């Protein structure tokens, strides 16, 4: 979709690994020429494990890169570091000099653009922890011009996640384009504009034309790029994998407490934390429908927290203990954010390709869980 929408524009789609870091998914994307947006050394190790040849298509984002992570990325010869502070740029220069490896970098600028999304996943305002004030960027680029170990390769922006309108992206890229033009007048020629990710999906089960959304997004960005001749990087994550995944849970009990009916499943907030963390909506459907009227229920898990829920006051088809239900659109930030809270074992992952299903992550065992501990 992105390739078609961007036409002849030189671009690279860098999948945001944090959305779903399953090795099998990374391998599939690498085989199709995708790049990768990482936010930790561990995510880089995952990419290198399945596609070492893709190292040159990796961009390293994140506000707290350690010296060891930077060294790993320099040795792997990644495409670009998205630098989020002056202190980080100093550290990058020091590590590059130590290893005698030139580091290509882009400043992640904060364009002070409001994105209408959950406050936990909005990242483009001046008061957020992410990025560098765009008004300071020119001075920083000038300060490292001619550096032996740093190459000003691009500029990066990311204003948040689950954004459904193209307008905020256009506003942000317009401000970035002005910075690029100003740098060009100063003799600093950037090769890349990294537009970040954040394109949202529909979690409510309505009709959703993904291709139309990509076309709208691409058109909005293209309109404000002006005469920029370099490469455009995009970092979609959720948009690529969320709707491809579901969490399948078994109903343990259907319980009545006062006026409330609770459907208790064997899955919990440790398996899919988005509803508890963001009050996020996921459609929930029985795998096999039973006859009868729908009823209003809370769908919850067995974890010892009142916040362990998947839905409040949700209309649901009839279910009984032993039935399977599917929580849809769980392909992003499902397994990637899972935990072992309450000493619960994480589930298996199954990849369905056409009519074939294969296991890509086995179910955890208690031995797996206890292995790192010492008494």
Q: Do 225 and 233 touch, CB atoms closer than 8 A?
A: no
By annotation, the residues acting in catalysis are: 304
Residues 6+ apart with CB under 8 A from 312: 298
Q: Do 19 and 240 touch, CB atoms closer than 8 A?
A: yes
Closest CA to 216 of 12, 15, 6: 6
**Gap between the Cα atoms of 155 and 272, Å rounded:** 34
Residue 306: CB atoms within 10 Å:
8
Residues 6+ apart with CB under 8 A from 163: 115, 116, 117, 169, 198, 199, 200
Structure tokens at 314: 């949700």
Buried b (16+ CB within 10 A) or exposed e, 329-357: bbbbbbbbbbeeeeebebbebebeeeeee
143 CA to centre of own chain: 32
116 CA to centre of own chain: 17
Measured between its terminal Cα atoms, the distance across the chain in Å is 53
Q: Compute the chain's Rg from CA coordinates.
A: 23
Q: Do 17 and 37 touch, CB atoms closer than 8 A?
A: yes
Residue ranges in the chain assigned as alpha helix (H): 2-6, 23-31, 41-50, 67-76, 86-99, 134-143, 167-185, 210-224, 238-241, 274-278, 366-370
> Any idea what DSSP says for residue 54?
G
For β-strands 324-327 and 11-16, DSSP reports them as unpaired
CA-angle at 132, arms to 131 and 136, nearest 5°: 165
Beta bridge pairs of residue 296: 315
């Amino acid at each position: 979709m992105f390739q078609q929408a961007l036409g002849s524009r030189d671009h690279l789609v860098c999948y945001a690994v944090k959305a779903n870091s399953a090795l099998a998914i990374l391998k599939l994307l690498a085989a199709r020429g995708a790049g990768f947006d990482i936010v930790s050394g561990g995510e880089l190790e995952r990419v290198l494990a399945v596609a070492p040849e893709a190292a040159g298509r990796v961009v390293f984002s994140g506000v707290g890169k350690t010296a060891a992570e930077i060294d790993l990325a320099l040795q792997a010869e990644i495409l670009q570091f998205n630098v989020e502070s002056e202190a980080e740029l100093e550290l990058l220069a020091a590590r590059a000099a130590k290893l005698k490896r030139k580091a290509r970098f882009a400043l992640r600028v904060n364009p002070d653009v409001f994105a209408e999304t959950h406050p936990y996943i909005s990242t483009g305002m001046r008061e957020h922890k992410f990025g560098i004030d765009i008004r300071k960027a020119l001075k920083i680029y000038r300060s490292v011009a001619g550096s032996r170990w740093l190459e000003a390769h691009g500029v990066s922006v990311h204003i948040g996640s689950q954004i459904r309108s193209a307008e905020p992206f256009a506003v942000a890229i317009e401000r970035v384009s002005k910075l690029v033009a100003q740098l060009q007048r100063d003799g600093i020629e950037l090769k890349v504009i990294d537009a970040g990710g954040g394109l949202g999906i529909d979690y409510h089960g309505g009709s959703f034309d993904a291709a139309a959304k990509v076309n709208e997004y691409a058109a909005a960005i293209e309109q404000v790029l002006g005469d920029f001749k370099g490469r455009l990087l995009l970092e979609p994550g959720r948009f690529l994998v969320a709707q491809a995944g579901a969490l399948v849970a078994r109903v343990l009990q259907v319980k009545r407490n006062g006026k409330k009916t609770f459907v208790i499943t064997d899955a919990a907030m440790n398996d899919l934390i988005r509803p508890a963390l963001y009050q996020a909506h996921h459609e929930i459907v029985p795998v096999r429908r039973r006859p009868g009227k729908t009823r209003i229920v809370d769908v919850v898990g067995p974890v010892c927290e009142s916040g362990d829920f998947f839905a409040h006051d949700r209309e649901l088809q009839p279910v009984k203990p032993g039935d399977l239900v599917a929580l849809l659109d769980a392909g992003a930030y499902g397994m990637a954010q899972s935990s072992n809270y309450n000493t619960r074992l994480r589930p298996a992952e199954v990849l369905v390709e056409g009519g074939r299903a294969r296991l890509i992550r086995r179910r955890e065992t208690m031995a797996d869980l206890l292995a790192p501990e010492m008494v």
